[in-house]
């Protein structure tokens, strides 16, 4: 099951600030809901885990992250994450390219292209929701990323961002997430109709 | 007059053939006292559960059992390495291939068995499955069979690399299984070159699964003291399983007992031998205690015998009046990772060459290539073991396309091409001999019953208003009752079947057969055959099947073979008894055998009223007063090797209305006329037909096992897999004609497959017909609302 995603998020800081944070791999990983870096092997190899709880099912993925390329000129990061759930019934890989460009009003924009491939039970059981789930995860990621960039300063806005980050759920969880997926799906139905 | 009434009463009391006798099986089923494999609980029994691959194609780098073994209650974790010393990590399939019992170094399909956990209870086993750590290296999967034979295709079966001599033909690629052909290639091509009209239609008969109510399972119990192995198994062919188990394990066949208890639906899904059975047996032999393995629904849908997966092209050459001059069929068969079909050895594509259907086809050619892909093995199941469903689909679809091209009504084009009644027995150009039929009468009866002309008129009016209404028509001929041992065997054993009948001194009967009922109602219908043959009331006849220690050897129940083969054996065995009974009666009445007439339930002396002996009296005498030189007792065995298959047929008509905005199809009418020869129990036939139509509806309208590019199976839960309930099921109208089989002892032909085989192309025919005026010639199944809606969008016919 392959899902291709194309996203962009406006960041409340400059291109330099955005790029600075993008190179902080554990920081970037922590923007993924439920994800964390557990081991830093070297500059381009990390071990991490993702825990997701949807309804009654908990899936914990352990995996490796490999930084394929960091290009300061283009402010582009290319990484591949690969993991298997601890029960051995599913696996996922994500090939992600992210880069920072100038935005309006001194802000910047984080752009990302990701190909997510899921195999096993997660694909069999969750296949039809995969696009929406991945989309929501990335939306959450974008919010967290933006907050991290905002939190870089000392301003009031930075404090708010820090607070927001502290409050973010530590795992991909529950009803609120399911609800946002559902809403996303409903919206997508209407979007399709509007564009077709 | 009084005598006639008496005779009628006596006949009625027998509840013999032709009587809608209530099913004897149902009392226990409706009271919840059926005994299925999972109901069997033996002292000290352990439970098995499978570790399965999340990948379709991967190399196994390591398997770590430590954590699983540390879990309290876990007895053992077995992998291919553990089975290797016993040479049981691979097993032969019924199709001449081998299949991994537990993945040996590589996994070849998603959900393939990688390790088996044996534990004290089912829950511990399931928990331990999660604790077995398997490290995989993913390999590129081969999912699309059209890419299987490409030079750069990933090679699946490393065990077969370089072995170009396959079980059925030379292999032209490492992913190639066989090429099989029937008919005359050149002669067919010549006709095509010069024909007035040629039509060609590609079609995909998708991968489906019969999804029986009860999943597959087994309880193996090895007695270390006397070396006996007993296996309770969900099997449609217990005797064949006994032979295979003996061959694999080295235990003499006399010490292997296979018991098929009550079976909750088979439909071909329970013909094969699955890794779970083998693992339970091995575990029981090693541990010396009973071991149970029962799969869950996902395992059933993902790994046990699927059906179809044929990519077909049907081509007809015809004259301008629509008379067929030649037929050509080309098939790419997706067999999955191992060739585990259960076809007769000679026919790797089953009886696909019945694809000339009900038509007088002068010359034909069929070409089938079987290939490996990273999908579960199987391929022969679902109310049609031998690819007859595919054959009927391709000919019936292509006939519709021809009718459309020539602008001839689809009923008329069939009538023009039917084998005529006087042509029977009819030798088809592909080598079968159709035993009997009257297709014209059947077609006329259906067209009259539904008022076909009025339907066409209504359709014309609706089309003018922009509404979508479709009329489907199918006139199929089936081939069932495998089969004559000259062309049918499984693992070298001829496909005969057997019956053993014992008449007790008091005139009741115990009969055992080599077949096994899974819903067909054998306990009811076999008794009716014996009742009519022997004049003993059905209720006094007990039928027993499925225990290899007691029943005579038979090839089992699938492919509608029980009545054509087992039923024939039953009738012939009964006739042997009757012949002996006649001798005893002559002895008791002190007359010559020639002076006796049979009268329902007794022998009468010709012309001497009152001089008679009932079967009951004869049975008693068989144990104390037989003619000199005759051995006492009254029993017989028959192993029946049929001289030919039987060829039931039918005419089905379907009317659908399609909602243009949603693509939703409503089946307004479905009229099914079947001719299965002599009818043993009309009520059971009706039930079989309703069941088969329901399954046909399921396949045509929703069921599928779809795979994504990575080889993930996306339809293996009942969330996705369509099983029609009372809500979706259309109303069925049934009808019949009776054309007995001339070579069958009682003229019966078999019926269970017909409604499945016949209804599926009929649904497609109806759906396509709704769009035919817009130039559509074919739409692939399943015809769910989304796919039909896509067709509507493509045509741009919404407001």
Interface of B with A (CB under 8 A): 51-52, 54-56, 110, 130, 132-134, 136, 138, 298, 302, 708-714, 716-717, 719
For all residues of chain A together, what is the average pLDDT? Answer: 82
pLDDT at A25: 87
pLDDT at A54: 56
Residue A189, SS3 per DSSP: helix
CA distance B200 to A63: 51
Chain A partners within 8 Å of B717 (Cβ): 124-125
Contact across the interface for A123 and B708, Cβ inside 8 Å: yes
In which band, very low, low, confident or very high, does the pLDDT at A179 lie, cut at 50, 70 and 90? low
pLDDT at A196: 38
* Residue B193: how many other CB atoms lie within 10 Å: 10
The answer to whether B28 is a known catalytic residue is no
In which band, very low, low, confident or very high, does the pLDDT at A132 lie, cut at 50, 70 and 90? confident
CA distance B495 to B598: 33
- Output B711 or A105, whichever has higher pLDDT: B711
- For chain B, give me the number of helices (H) and strands (E)? 19, 32
**CB-CB: which of B134, B138, B710 is closest to A1?**
B710
Contact across the interface for A127 and B711, Cβ inside 8 Å: no
CA distance B221 to B40: 11
pLDDT at B345: 86
The answer to whether B201 is a known catalytic residue is no
ipTM: 0.81
Contact across the interface for B298 and A87, Cβ inside 8 Å: no
CA B322 to mean position of chain CA atoms: 33
CB B443 within 8 A of CB B651: yes
CB B300 within 8 A of CB B217: no
The residue whose two tokens read 């497959």 is B753
Among residues B21, B383, B414, B561, the one annotated as catalytic is B383
CB B49 within 8 A of CB B116: yes
Kind of pairing, strands B602-605 and B612-614? Answer: antiparallel
The residue whose two tokens read 């010359």 is B363
Tell whether omega for the bond before B782 is within 30 degrees of 0, i.e. cis: yes
CA distance B11 to B21: 13
Confidence check: pLDDT of A178 > 80: no
Give the DSSP H or E segment for A54: strand A45-54
Chain B partners within 8 Å of A57 (Cβ): none
Contact across the interface for B110 and A127, Cβ inside 8 Å: no
* Residue B133: how many other CB atoms lie within 10 Å: 17
CA distance B401 to B383: 26
Task: Outline where B367-494 has alpha helix (H).
Answer: 388-406, 410-417, 439-450, 452-464
Residue B327, SS3 per DSSP: strand
Residues in a beta bridge with B183: B365
Which tens digit of pLDDT belongs to each residue from B277-293?
A: 999 999 999 999 999 99
Chain A partners within 8 Å of B709 (Cβ): 2
Structure tokens at B234: 């969900």
**CB-CB: which of B55, B130, B709 is closest to A87?**
B130
Tell whether omega for the bond before B425 is within 30 degrees of 0, i.e. cis: yes
Residue B87, SS3 per DSSP: coil
The answer to whether B384 is a known catalytic residue is yes
Name which of B296, B708, B790 to mutate to probe chain A: the one with the most chain A Cβ atoms within 10 A of its Cβ. Answer: B708
**Ordered mean pLDDT values, 10 residues apiece, chain B (799 residues):** 86 97 95 96 98 96 97 98 95 94 97 98 96 94 98 97 95 98 98 98 97 97 97 97 94 98 95 96 96 97 96 98 98 97 90 97 98 94 88 98 98 98 98 98 98 98 97 97 89 93 98 96 97 98 98 94 96 98 98 98 96 98 97 98 97 98 97 98 97 97 96 92 95 98 97 96 98 98 97 92
CB B322 within 8 A of CB B196: no
Chain B partners within 8 Å of A2 (Cβ): 708-710
For A101-139, the DSSP string reads: EE-STT-EEEEEEEEEEEEEHHHHHHGGGHHHHHHHHHH
The answer to whether B236 is a known catalytic residue is yes
CA distance B716 to B704: 9
- The whole-angstrom distance between B715's CA and the closest CA on chain A is 7
Task: Outline where B196-237 has alpha helix (H).
Answer: none
CA distance B573 to B200: 49
Across B291-329, b (16+ Cβ under 10 Å) vs e yields: bbbbbeebbbbbbbbbbbbbbbbbbbbbeeebebbbbbb
Chain B partners within 8 Å of A125 (Cβ): 717, 719
Q: Which residues contact B389 (CB under 8 A, 6 or more apart)?
A: B205, B307, B308, B382, B383, B753, B756, B757, B760
Interhelix angle B522-534/B568-589, rounded to 10 degrees, is: 30
- For chain A, give me the number of helices (H) and strands (E)? 6, 8
- The whole-angstrom distance between A110's CA and the closest CA on chain B is 30
CA distance B677 to B133: 57
Confidence check: pLDDT of A195 > 50: no
């Amino acid at each position: 099951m392959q899902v291709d995603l194309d996203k962009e998020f406006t960041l409340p800081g400059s291109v330099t600030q955005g790029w600075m944070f993008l190179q902080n791999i554990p920081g970037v990983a922590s923007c993924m809901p439920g994800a964390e870096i557990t081991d830093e092997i070297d500059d381009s190899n990390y071990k991490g885990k993702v825990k997701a709880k949807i309804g009654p099912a908990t899936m914990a993925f352990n995996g490796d992250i490999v930084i394929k390329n960091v290009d300061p000129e283009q402010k582009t990061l290319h990484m591949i994450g690969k993991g298997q759930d601890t029960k051995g019934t599913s696996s996922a890989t994500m090939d992600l390219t992210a880069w920072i460009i100038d935005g309006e009003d001194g802000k910047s924009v984080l752009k990302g292209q990701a190909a997510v491939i899921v195999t096993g039970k997660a694909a069999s059981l969750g296949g039809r929701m995969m696009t929406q789930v991945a989309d929501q995860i990335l939306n959450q990621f974008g919010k967290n990323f933006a907050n991290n960039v905002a939190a870089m300063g000392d301003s009031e806005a930075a404090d708010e961002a820090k607070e927001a980050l502290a409050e973010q759920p530590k795992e991909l969880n529950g009803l609120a997430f399911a609800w946002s997926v559902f809403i996303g799906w409903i919206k997508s139905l209407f979007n399709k109709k509007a564009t077709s | 007059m009084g005598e006639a009434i008496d005779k009628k009463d006596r006949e009625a009391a027998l509840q013999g053939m032709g009587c809608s006798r209530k099913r004897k099986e149902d009392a226990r089923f409706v009271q919840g006292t059926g005994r299925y494999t999972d109901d069997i609980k033996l002292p000290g029994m352990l439970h098995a559960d499978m570790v399965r691959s999340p990948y379709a194609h991967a190399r196994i780098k390591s398997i770590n059992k430590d954590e699983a073994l540390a879990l309290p209650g876990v007895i053992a974790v077995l992998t291919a390495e553990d089975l290797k010393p016993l040479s049981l990590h691979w097993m032969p399939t019924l199709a001449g291939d081998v299949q991994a019992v537990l993945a040996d170094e590589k996994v070849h399909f998603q959900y393939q068995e990688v390790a088996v956990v044996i534990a004290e209870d089912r829950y511990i086993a399931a928990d331990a499955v999660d604790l077995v750590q398997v490290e995989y290296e993913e390999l590129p999967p081969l999912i699309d069979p059209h890419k299987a034979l490409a030079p750069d295709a990933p090679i699946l079966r490393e065990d077969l690399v370089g072995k170009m001599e396959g079980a059925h033909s030379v292999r032209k690629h490492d992913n190639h299984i066989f090429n099989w052909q029937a008919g005359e290639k050149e002669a067919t091509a010549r006709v095509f070159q010069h024909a007035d009209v040629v039509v060609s239609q590609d079609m995909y008969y998708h991968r489906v699964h019969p999804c029986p109510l009860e999943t597959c399972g087994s309880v193996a119990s090895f007695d270390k003291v006397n070396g006996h192995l007993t296996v309770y198994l969900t099997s449609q062919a217990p005797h064949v399983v006994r032979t295979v188990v003996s061959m694999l394990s080295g235990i003499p066949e006399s010490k292997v007992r296979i018991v098929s208890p009550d079976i909750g639906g088979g439909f071909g899904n329970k013909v094969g031998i699955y890794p779970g059975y083998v693992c339970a047996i091995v575990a029981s032999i090693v541990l010396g205690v009973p071991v149970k393995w029962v799969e869950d629904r996902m395992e059933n849908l993902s790994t046990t015998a699927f059906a179809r997966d044929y990519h077909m092209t049907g081509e007809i050459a015809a004259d301008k009046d629509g008379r067929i001059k030649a037929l050509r069929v080309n098939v790419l068969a997706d067999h999955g990772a191992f060739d585990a079909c259960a076809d007769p050895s000679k026919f790797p594509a089953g009886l696909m060459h019945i694809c000339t259907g009900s038509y007088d086809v002068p010359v034909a050619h069929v070409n089938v290539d079987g290939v490996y892909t990273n999908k579960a093995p199987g391929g022969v199941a679902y109310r049609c073991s031998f690819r007859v469903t595919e054959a009927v689909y391709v000919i019936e679809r292509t006939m519709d396309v021809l009718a459309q091209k020539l602008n001839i009504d689809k009923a008329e084009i069939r009538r023009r091409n039917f084998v005529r009644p006087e042509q029977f027995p009819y030798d088809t150009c592909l080598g079968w001999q159709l035993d009997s039929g009257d297709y014209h009468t059947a077609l006329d009866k259906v067209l009259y019953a539904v008022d076909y002309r009025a339907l066409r008129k209504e359709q014309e009016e609706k089309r003018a208003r922009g509404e979508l209404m479709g009329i489907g028509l199918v006139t199929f001929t089936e081939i069932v009752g495998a089969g004559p041992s000259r062309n049918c065997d499984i693992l070298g054993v001829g496909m005969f079947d057997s019956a053993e009948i014992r008449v007790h001194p008091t005139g009741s009967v115990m009969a055992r057969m080599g077949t096994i009922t899974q819903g067909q109602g054998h306990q009811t219908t076999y008794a009716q055959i014996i009742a009519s043959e022997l004049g003993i009331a059905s209720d006094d006849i007990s039928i027993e099947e499925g225990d290899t220690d007691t029943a005579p050897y038979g090839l089992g129940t699938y492919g509608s073979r029980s009545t054509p083969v087992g039923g024939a054996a039953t009738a012939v065995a009964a006739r042997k008894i009757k012949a002996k009974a006649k001798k005893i009666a002559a002895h008791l009445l002190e007359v010559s055998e020639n002076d006796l007439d049979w009268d329902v339930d007794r022998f009468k002396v010709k012309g001497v009223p009152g001089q008679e002996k009932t079967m009951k009296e004869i049975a008693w005498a068989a144990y104390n007063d037989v003619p000199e030189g005759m051995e006492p007792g009254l029993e017989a065995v028959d192993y029946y090797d049929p001289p030919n298959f039987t060829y039931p047929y039918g005419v089905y008509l379907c009317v659908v209305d399609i909602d243009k905005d949603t693509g939703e199809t409503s089946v307004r009418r479905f009229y099914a006329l079947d001719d299965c020869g002599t009818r043993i129990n009309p009520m059971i036939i009706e039930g079989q037909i309703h069941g088969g139509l329901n399954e046909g509806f399921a396949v045509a309208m929703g069921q599928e096992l779809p795979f994504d590019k990575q080889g993930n199976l996306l339809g293996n839960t009942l969330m996705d897999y369509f099983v029609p309930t009372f809500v979706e099921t259309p109303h069925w109208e049934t009808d019949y004609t009776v054309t007995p089989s001339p070579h069958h002892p009682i003229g019966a032909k078999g019926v269970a497959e017909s409604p499945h085989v016949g209804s599926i192309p009929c649904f497609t025919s109806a759906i396509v017909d709704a769009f035919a005026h817009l130039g559509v010639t074919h739409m692939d199944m399943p015809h769910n609302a989304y796919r039909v809606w896509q067709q509507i969008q493509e045509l741009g016919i919404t407001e």
